[in-house]
Amino acid sequence: MKPMPVCAMRLDGKTMLITGAGSGIGRALAVACAEQGARLLLVGRRRAKLEETRALLARPEQAMLLAADVTQAADRRVMRNTIAETFGCLDVLVNNAGVLCVGPLHGADDDELEDLLATNLLAPMALTRDLLNLLRTAERPRIVNVGSVFGDIGHPQFAAYSATKFGLRGFSDAIRRELMAEGIGLTYVAPRATQTEAAHKFDHLVAPYAMAVDSAEVAAAQILSAIRRDARNSYARGPERFFVMLQRLFPGLIDQALGRKLPAV
């Protein structure tokens, strides 16, 4: 077993792959990691949005762009080959790409549910598997799975989304233990609701549920701090941490708190 790290991880010169880097948290994280000197492979479905992200970097030459869909096996092979041929290893994999489904479950069709599962849960599992050999060649490799507070607290109007984040949290715990003997770290990060391109989908729920909404930059700072600390888990600061503990100890209280606030639909 490799010795456990005892000092903060430095990103200068480290190779990082960030999925969902064309907007939101992924874009803000790319900017923050570039400032730390990381070499970036930025992945997203839309090339134009990735170009916008790269233009924000202090040194745009630090980033390679790859328009790819993490749910597609052929695209994941391209990611693997690009890293192998360009960098030779992968220090940090950030599974950030995700989609949002908001509203009563009866309003979600099969295509929406399948896309949600494929993007939020199956893709991080498959990409982690596909890139393991490249992570194994790094000195202090780390996988970062970007979840959500809704991966601990099943939230009404977010049932399917919560299910995918609960699954991602469970996968994170299991694969962390599976890879521990190889010295591959796993950090699960749970931001709270965040302002992204999809945030408008839950605008009508912010007031009824008294939701706190962070900027993408705040969420990215949380992720970056967790990476540098080699953290096991990271939860957003604020009352959400208390609610997560309450959910685990007294879930019935959360049932009453959230179940009574259902807005009219």
161 included as an active-site residue:
yes
Q: Say if residue 249 is exposed, middle or buried (CB neighbours under 10 Å; 0-12, 13-18, 19+).
A: exposed
Cα–Cα nearest to 150, from 112, 191, 114: 191
Active-site hit among 161, 188, 209, 235 = 161
The answer to whether the CB of 36 falls within 8 A of the CB of 18 is no
Compute the Cα dihedral for 153, 154, 155, 160 and give only its sign: positive
Eight-class DSSP state of 194: B
Q: Say if residue 61 is exposed, middle or buried (CB neighbours under 10 Å; 0-12, 13-18, 19+).
A: exposed
Q: Catalytic residue numbers?
A: 161
